[in-house]
Amino acid sequence: MASTLLSLASLDAQVRPVAPVRPNGPWAIKTREHVDLWLHGFALVSADTSVVPLFRRGYRDSLVVVRNMAQRSTRLDTAMAMLQKTLAASPELVNAQFYALHFTNFGTLRVSVQLLTQAKGDVRSVRDRDQARMVALAANYFGSAPAREFGEQLSVALESESQRFFHENWLQVQRMRAPVIARADSLWRTAWFPKLAGFLRATGQRNGEIIVSPLVEGEGRTITADPATGLSMVVTLPPSVDRTTEVLYGIVHEAVGTFAATAISDNITPRQKSAGVADRLQTPGALRAGLLLLQRVLPREAEGYARFYLRVIGKPVPAVGAVAALEAAMPLHADILESMGKQLDLHLGGL
């Protein structure tokens, strides 16, 4: 999903900035409160039935406990039933969870949804050029009247949620997980990025940002929000330093998403595509592509990757032989695997 980053300088004062661990260089690791806040809203109002869960297992239940202990009701509590009903009726709205990645702060996001509501979805009615661009972007995610109402109610509810609960809790989580971020950044810069750089270049992923989030686990989020800066990738932020490599496993999984989709598309028939086979194969395809990539560039990490994803998808994790167990749990046609292998050999041939 590719869109243009929109940010108005007059609204920058509304941001609560969090500095990246490394503000310069390709693929810097960062945290973004407004992205976590937006995903938090979707985690609480959506039914997560994906093979690789969209959010960390148990997140919603754990947050309900924390919110109840804080005894701070917010407008999200009031809007919850309506938001859940709308999302269930229009499941395509789940794609709006990517919306926050187009913005540098929640204030600008909130204004964009307000402008869309005021314009009733009509971009032509907005005279200001910057505002028209914001409305056009918002309309891509919230095109219908019910979708616009969903976006309006969710953004209002999350503004209240941030003020009364989320911001304080988020800061606490960041303090507790700061050692994980520092360790992940060190591993990424010194060991993982040098090995993956060739694949990233060969697949058109030269630049981007890595946003670590405690809300996600095995399934990240990746879009081109701003072509000038590259991809925005959201991956897990685990709770303890001994699980830091989960950040790197998530990066690998996100990096091979488009690569896997291409291999799948090239090896199924038009009829199969029409029947939705490509969509059904994307999960096993991405998991197996990540495994193949690691087996070539960081073979010692393949077993850990397999153990992590077996746990994420709810499969037994053997003491040994996790790679074989993941391959068995995520079967893929030999033609697709062969195609992936050949493409990887081409991409990595110069290493």
pLDDT tier, 313 (very low <50, low <70, confident <90, very high otherwise): very high
Report yes or no on 294 lying in a domain.
yes
pTM score: 0.91
| pLDDT for residue 24 | 52
| pLDDT for residue 170 | 97
Select from 236, 266, 284 the last residue of a domain: 236
| pLDDT for residue 15 | 35
Report yes or no on 70 lying in a domain.
yes
Collapsing DSSP to helix, strand or coil, 177 comes out as: helix
Average of per-residue pLDDT values in the chain: 91
Q: Residue 126 belongs to what domain range?
A: 20-236
Q: Are residues 122 and 34 in the same domain?
A: yes
Checking DSSP bridges between strand 221-226 and strand 230-236, what pairing results, if any?
Answer: antiparallel
Q: Are residues 272 and 128 in the same domain?
A: no
| pLDDT for residue 152 | 98
Task: Let me know: does 222 contact 281? Beta carbons within 8 Å.
Answer: no
pLDDT(13) > 50: no
Q: For 16-29, what is each residue's pLDDT tens digit?
A: 334 444 445 679 99
| pLDDT for residue 350 | 53
C-alpha dihedral, 185 to 189 to 190 to 194, nearest 10°: 140
Q: For 42-77, what is each residue's pLDDT tens digit?
A: 999 998 989 999 999 999 988 888 888 877 889 999
Collapsing DSSP to helix, strand or coil, 331 comes out as: coil
Q: Which residue has tokens 């994906």? A: 50
Percent of the chain with pLDDT over 70: 92
Question: In angstroms, rounded to a whole number, what is the distance separating the alpha carbons of residues 52 and 248?
Answer: 17
Q: Are residues 228 and 296 in the same domain?
A: no
Q: Are residues 166 and 213 in the same domain?
A: yes
DSSP label of 56: -
Q: Are residues 293 and 208 in the same domain?
A: no
- Structure tokens given for 246: 């989960």
203: phi then psi, degrees, rounded to nearest 5 = -105, 20
Q: Are residues 171 and 291 in the same domain?
A: no
Q: Which residue has tokens 């004062």? A: 13
Question: In angstroms, rounded to a whole number, what is the distance separating the alpha carbons of residues 275 and 273?
Answer: 5
Q: Are residues 69 and 198 in the same domain?
A: yes
Select from 207, 236, 265 the last residue of a domain: 236
Q: Are residues 72 and 165 in the same domain?
A: yes
Q: Are residues 72 and 181 in the same domain?
A: yes
pLDDT(194) > 60: yes
Report yes or no on 13 lying in a domain.
no
Report yes or no on 241 lying in a domain.
no
Q: For 318-329, what is each residue's pLDDT tens digit?
A: 999 999 999 999
pLDDT tier, 5 (very low <50, low <70, confident <90, very high otherwise): very low
Domain count, the chain: 2
Q: For 98-145, what is each residue's pLDDT tens digit?
A: 999 999 999 999 999 999 999 999 999 999 999 999 999 999 999 999
Report yes or no on 2 lying in a domain.
no
Percent of the chain with pLDDT over 90: 85
Q: Are residues 271 and 135 in the same domain?
A: no
Report yes or no on 247 lying in a domain.
no
Question: In angstroms, rounded to a whole number, what is the distance separating the alpha carbons of residues 47 and 343?
Answer: 36
- Edge-to-edge strand ranges of the sheet holding 208-213: 28-30, 208-213, 230-236, 221-226
Mean pLDDT in residue range 9-15? 33
Report yes or no on 244 lying in a domain.
no
Q: Are residues 47 and 157 in the same domain?
A: yes
Q: CB-hemisphere CA count at 13 Å for 265?
A: 6
Q: Are residues 179 and 132 in the same domain?
A: yes
